[in-house]
């Protein structure tokens, strides 16, 4: 096998790897089916994230004004509805151009949760949309855990189910693992039974988790909203440039025999 064949074989092998290899486990993942160009979904996702997640998980690689521009929000809308923190160093309200950090210090977080909650700026790239969506839908009752819940995607998770009020509390009915998968730590295509209902129906809750997933996927790489458009323009430019380059080549070489 020559070098070219080796490179091609390696590329196909990388593409063929299951998503679970990059998601840190063999859990059954559901399709998130998100649309990064759905601004209404992104706006709702930002609202849910600020209200339910940001008390513990910051987005320190993102800025409020960039989010406002990409999501079609005005600065006043962001200030009034999405900024609830103060600058701890200056004791002043957080500015629109500030990074999306929270007020939870690492020492207190480590004391309460055992370890500081991670920043989620890049979770969309490191885990993937399907992992996030499945994780948000896979909390179940487990009295052995400190917060009374566990997760089939992230076994022995150390965080509470912060969306329990919306979803309710479900119990796990574990199915046998499929061939080649282990039952230890992960569950193949688990089934859940609702033990205590929340304020939302199952379909409404899934829309919430889809919006949250959409927002976190956007935050992990805001440029993806525009890069495909840039790619189209680049291909058009190259096509036009090729025509002129070809005509120029013919002009230079027309007298060469």
Looking at the structure, do residues 192 and 139 belong to the same domain, yes or no? yes
44 and 70 both lie in a single domain: yes
* Same domain, yes or no: 212 and 243: no
Query: In this predicted model, what pLDDT tens digit does every residue of 177-229 receive, in sequence order?
Result: 554 554 444 446 788 999 999 999 999 999 999 999 999 999 999 988 887 78
Residues whose CB falls within 8 Å of the CB of residue 164, separated by 6 or more in sequence, listed in order: 139, 149, 198
* Number of domains making up the chain: 2
Cα dihedral: 121, 122, 123, 127 (round 10) = 170
Q: Distance between CA atoms of 34 and 124, rounded to whole angstroms? A: 12
Instruction: Say whether both 184 and 251 belong to one domain.
Output: no
Is 170 in the same domain as 256?
A: no
Q: Are residues 172 and 245 in the same domain?
A: no
pLDDT in tens, 39-68: 999 999 999 999 999 989 999 999 999 999
Look up the CATH number of the domain holding residue 93. Answer: 1.10.760.10
pTM of the shown model: 0.76
């Amino acid at each position: 096998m020559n070098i070219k064949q080796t490179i091609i074989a390696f590329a196909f092998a990388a593409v063929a790897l299951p998503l679970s290899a990059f998601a840190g486990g063999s859990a059954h993942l559901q399709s998130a089916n998100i649309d990064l160009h759905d601004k209404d979904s992104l706006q709702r996702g930002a609202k849910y994230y600020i209200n339910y997640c940001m008390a513990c998980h910051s987005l320190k690689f993102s800025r409020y004004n960039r989010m406002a521009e990409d999501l079609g929000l005005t600065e006043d809308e962001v200030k009034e509805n999405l900024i609830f923190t103060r600058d701890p160093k200056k004791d002043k309200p957080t500015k629109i151009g500030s990074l999306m950090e929270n007020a939870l210090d690492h020492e207190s977080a480590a004391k309460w949760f055992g370890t500081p909650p991670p920043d989620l700026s890049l979770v969309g790239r490191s885990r993937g949309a399907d992992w996030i969506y499945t994780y948000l839908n896979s909390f179940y009752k487990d009295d052995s855990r400190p917060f009374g819940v566990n997760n089939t995607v992230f076994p022995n998770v150390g965080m509470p189910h912060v969306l329990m009020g919306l979803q309710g509390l479900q119990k796990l009915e574990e199915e046998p693992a499929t061939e080649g998968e282990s039952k230890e730590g992960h569950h193949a295509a688990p089934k859940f039974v609702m033990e205590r209902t929340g304020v939302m129906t199952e379909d409404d809750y899934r829309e919430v988790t889809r919006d949250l997933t959409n927002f976190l996927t956007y935050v992990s790489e805001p440029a993806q909203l525009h890069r495909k458009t840039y790619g189209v323009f680049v291909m058009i430019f190259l096509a036009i440039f090729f025509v002129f380059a070809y005509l120029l080549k013919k002009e230079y070489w027309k007298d060469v025999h």
